[in-house]
Amino acid sequence: MKLNRRALMLGAGLAGAGLAGCARTDGHRTVIGLTYIPNIQFCAFYHAVDAGLFAKAGVDVELRHHGAQEGLFTALEAGEEQVVFASVDEAVLAAAAGLGTLRVFASCYRTYPGHVLGGPAVRDLTDLKGRRLGVPGRYGASWLTALAALHRAELSQDEVEIVEIGWTQVAALTSGKVDAAIGFINNEAVQLEQLGFGAAVLDAVDPLAPDLLGPGLMTLAQQVEGTTLARIVEAVVEAEQQIIADPTKGIEAALSRIPTLAEPEQRAAAEGVLAATIKLWDEGSGVDLGVPAETLQRTEAFLHRVGAIEQVPGDLLLQVP
């Protein structure tokens, strides 16, 4: 999941405060921010546009990809976007840092995508002790994944050699530069499998009681009508269901945004990523974008416990009709 490559960059203030004071209606276009360049992982949104599912649900949607150096919530604050797809744990950081009107109204993955990808010497989280753990940097969802993994293994940062490797996890792990790396089940783990590397894919959080919450949909309080948010969720759910039934719909929707998918090797790689992403959408009980309140509460408590936030934000969860 290469959705959060940048450090969390909050705006100087709530530049969109004037807009936030007036709720939008279905007569307005809703811009949904996708926090990375065009990627197969966004295909449900692409398909919802192309197949007219947003229109069918009664909402006018425009998709907007973020620039390489753009903050996750900068456009949301500025009123350039009304909804953004980002990691919920990073939303907790932003809300605690001052973006108090940020609200989470959907959770897009049923399980947390961040994992420890272990090389030959790391087959269990406890094997990290005294070894080199590669992280893109000390920021973002990847860093939170690392903190969660160390906490679960009952290891301190001093007991592991943290190596900042940028977004080169696959190369760093396969070359032996690090003994393990933080990566995502629907990105680096897929690449390593396709290379035949045989990495150990280790849960950074307890699957039964996770203390981090992954990608979801966010808005600012009072910026978008609750019925509009509910219709967005309805359309995304239908898009995911259709892609699960026929994954080629997702590939074709992404193809118009990512022309390189016409190349057989790139298409095969995208199919692998999509298959892994589908498992995050639906772990067997059907597609559900509801926000698990207990997991959100555990996420807030964990980030406070490890010192990532000074105070747990209030009112982050927004229930939609």
pLDDT digits (tens, 9 = 90+) for 141-189: 999 999 999 999 999 999 999 999 999 999 999 999 999 999 999 999 9
Tell me which DSSP letter residue 284 carries. S
Closest alpha carbon to 108 in 278, 314, 229: 278
pLDDT of residue 27: 63
Residues 190 and 54 placed together within one structural domain of the fold: no
What is the domain-level CATH number for residue 245? 3.40.190.10
Task: Print the domain residue range for 244.
Answer: 30-110+212-306
Look at residues 203, 228, 252 and tell me which one is the last residue of a structural domain.
203
Q: Is residue 18 part of a domain?
A: no
Residue 12 is predicted with a pLDDT of: 31
Bridge pairing between strands 215-220 and 83-87: antiparallel
Q: Point out the domain boundary residue: 169, 203, 237.
A: 203
Average pLDDT over the chain, rounded to whole? Answer: 91
Question: Over the stretch 88-99, which tens digit does the pLDDT of each residue have?
Answer: 999 999 999 999
Whether residues 53 and 132 share a domain: the answer is no
Q: Are residues 244 and 302 in the same domain?
A: yes
Q: Kindly tell me if the per-residue pLDDT of 6 is higher than 60.
A: no
Residue pLDDT, tens place only, 178-228:
999 999 999 999 999 999 999 999 999 999 999 999 999 999 999 999 999
Tell me the C-alpha distance between 55 and 232, whole Å.
Answer: 10
Residues in contact with 175: Cβ distance below 8 Å, sequence separation at least 6, in sequence order: none
List all residues 6 or more positions away from 211 whose beta carbon is below 8 Å from its beta carbon: 148, 151, 205, 295, 298, 299, 301, 302
Residues 57, 176, single domain; the answer is no
- Overall size of the chain counted in residues: 321
Mean pLDDT within 294-309:
97
Residue 14 lies in a domain: no
User: What is the rounded average pLDDT of the residues 72-93?
Assistant: 97
Residue 241 lies in a domain: yes
Same domain, 195 and 267: no
pLDDT greater than 60 at residue 122 = yes
Q: Where is the domain boundary, 180, 203, 226?
A: 203
Q: Is residue 269 part of a domain?
A: yes
Q: What total of structural domains would you count in the chain?
A: 2
Asked if residue 186 and residue 147 are part of one domain, the reply reads yes
Residues 170 and 245 in one domain: no
